[in-house]
Amino acid sequence: MPEKSSTRITVRVQPNAKQNELMGFKNGVWQVRIAAPPVKGKANHELIKFLSTVCGVSKSNLAIEKGTTGKTKVISIAGLTQNQVIGLINQSFPDKATAKD
C-alpha cells in the first residue's frame, strides 16, 4: 500500500492581526498574520483552520510539529506534496512575492 504524501512548511505567525492573511515568503519561511490572540492556543487553532482552508485539506491533516509556544512553527500537511502546497499558497496571494521552493 503506498504511503500517503505529506510535507512540512515553516511559518512565522503574527497574532492579533485584523484578519488572517499570508504576507509572503522570506528566507524559507511563510509569513502569516492570524486574527487571534496567542492565548490558550487560540492563535494555533486559528492558524490550522486558516491553512486548511488555503490548502484545501481538512484540519485533521495539519499538525504543528514544532513551535507550539513560539512565533516560528513547523507545520506538517498530510495528503499534499511540497509542490502542491507551494502552488496552493501562491494562488492565495498572486499579487505578492511567491516562492518556488
Q: What is the pLDDT of residue 99?
A: 53
Predicted confidence at residue 2, as pLDDT, reads 46
Q: How does pLDDT run across 47-65, given as a tens digit for each residue?
A: 999 999 999 999 999 999 9
Whole-prediction pTM value? 0.86
Going along the chain from its start, the domains and CATH numbers come out as 11-92 (3.30.1200.10)
Q: Name the grid cell of 92.
A: 492565495
Confidence class for position 95, pLDDT limits 50, 70, 90:
low
Q: Give the tens place of pLDDT for each residue, 84-93.
A: 888 888 887 6
